[in-house]
Amino acid sequence: MLSAAIIAASAHAELTTDEGVAYTVTPDPEVEQTSIKGNIVITFPEFTKITGVVDAEDPDYILDIMATFTTSNWYIDGVVDGNTVTFTPWEPALVEGEYTLSLLDGLTGYTADGDAVSVAAFSITWVVTGEELTPGEYTIIIDPAEGQVDSLCDFTMEFDGATVVSVMNDYAPANTPTLYSVSADGTRTKKGTSWKIYPASSQLTFSILGGPFTADGDYVLVIPAGFLFVDGVEIDTDLEYYYTIGAGTVEIPYTVEFSPADGSTVDNLDNIRVITTTTQDGVTITRNSYGSSYPKLYLLNADGSYDSQVAGKISGDGDDFMWSAYYGDLEDGDYAFVVPADYVTLTDSEGNSVSVPEMIAYYKLDTTSGISAVGADNAQVEWYTLQGVKLNSAPKAGVYIMRQGNTVSKVIVK
């Protein structure tokens, strides 16, 4: 009869009861592997059945297979059936190195006499020498197919004619499958990245984080070069698949006006006004303020890049909004006012929507020049509260924002 005190087993193809619980493994860890492509089956011959939770989504029983050349964990799914435990790797091991399967505490074996025996944690290690595979002719079949669809979230790719499909180890957002929306001018806006990947023989299934996406419009799925390996050979070009949800791209003409105008030299940047107008009846203009995707003012670096943000806020209606500085005294220099893509959306009377691409206006702030826009003295005067609310008439006593032409200033009205 087995003792209830089980010694943690080391990596052997088979152990006697004196060393611990007896088990056999397929594939045999004492034989060098050219790859680990199929299931890993552990059998406990002295037990009539095995029980326990073996689930990659349960943090107490996470099982991983990893190579010594990388820090990536390759999670696998485990299934208990009778006196065997079968593990299916999400990704086959084809690259040379040592791979280790670690079983945590939690399995329990039952003998023919009905005795319960706890199985202590143990590990099994294989040496993979690698396998040279030559890809033949294969055809990529993607589901859903390109064209008209109702929504986008899960994708399946079948490599007809291939033997093994695998993906790169590094799942950084910059080099994983990504779904983009495509605006009328071709601008791409990231909608979601791959977050679940299930390679199985010649098939690959992955889900897009943030889905399902159902908004009408045009989309493109991009699988970057270097992400996929077919029979061990890298696909070194981007794969792109195009889809349309609903009516697809519609044309809604619009114009955008910045005040001060793009490229202006100004003596203050307390307020920047943006007006979106359309030439089509029945169009509504909305602004989508979510997360960090809202208009911002930046101080330009010497090389033209920008990363130093000026504190401010946005106020106004959808088609006429204004950025206001928290602090009015800004240092002289070059600035960029950036309205991100998708911040402004146009919707026609039939419900078709178009997102306005990124808009940027550049300014030179020179508080010593005393510059005024040409014809500013004759331009109409507009008044705003300090919160950016436009007034319909000249204000009473107080501090207000006055705009005349391209000149914007704070004025004390007595």
Query: For 81-120, how does the pLDDT look when each residue is reduced to its tens digit (9 = 90+)?
Result: 888 888 776 566 666 777 878 776 767 888 888 888 888 8
Domains identified in the chain, total number: 3
Residue 395 domain-assigned?
Answer: no
Which string of DSSP letters, residue by residue, matches 170-184? ---GGGS-EEEEE-T
235 and 266 both lie in a single domain = no
233 and 305 both lie in a single domain = no
- Mean pLDDT, consecutive 10-residue stretches, the chain (414 aa), reads 35 40 89 79 90 50 36 54 78 70 77 86 80 74 91 89 72 73 85 68 76 85 86 84 81 90 89 91 82 82 83 87 83 90 85 83 81 51 71 74 69 68
95 and 178 both lie in a single domain = no
Those residues with Cβ within 8 angstroms of residue 116's Cβ, 6 or more apart along the chain or in another chain: 4, 108, 109, 110
CATH code of the domain in which 331 resides: 2.60.40.1220
239 and 263 both lie in a single domain = no
Residue 231 gets the label, from left (phi > 0), alpha (psi -120 to 50) or beta, of left
Q: Are 53 and 61 in contact (CB under 8 A)?
A: yes
Q: Are 151 and 214 in contact (CB under 8 A)?
A: yes
The boundaries of the domain holding residue 238 are 139-245
Answer with the one of 208, 227, 245 that is the final residue of a domain. Answer: 245
Answer with the one of 211, 245, 279 that is the final residue of a domain. Answer: 245
Answer with the one of 101, 128, 155 that is the final residue of a domain. Answer: 128
